[in-house]
């Protein structure tokens, strides 16, 4: 392999490596793996969701229905 071929291959290899480093989408996030959520934190989130659902159900039950008024 002569010098010109060798240098051309080296340049192509570096260019390919640079293209592989480019990430599409949100570049502020450097990892695609989601953040770990502990069991206690998951339980808190589930409790919050459950209370929100209960509040919505209570609000629907206490709201007067206008179906019979028309």
What's the pTM? Answer: 0.40
Domain boundaries, the chain: 36-62
Spatial separation of the C-alpha atoms in residues 11 and 17, rounded to whole Å: 10
Q: pLDDT value at position 62?
A: 83
Q: What is the pLDDT of residues 34-57, one digit of tens each?
A: 788 999 999 999 999 999 999 888
Of 62, 41, 59, nearest to 51 (Cα)?
A: 59
Spatial separation of the C-alpha atoms in residues 36 and 42, rounded to whole Å: 10
């Amino acid at each position: 392999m002569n010098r010109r071929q060798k240098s051309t291959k080296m340049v192509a290899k570096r260019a390919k490596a640079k293209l592989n480093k480019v990430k599409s989408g949100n570049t502020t996030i450097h990892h695609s793996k989601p953040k770990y959520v502990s069991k206690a934190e998951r339980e808190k989130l589930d409790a919050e969701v459950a209370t929100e659902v209960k509040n919505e159900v209570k609000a629907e039950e206490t709201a007067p229905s206008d179906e019979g008024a028309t």
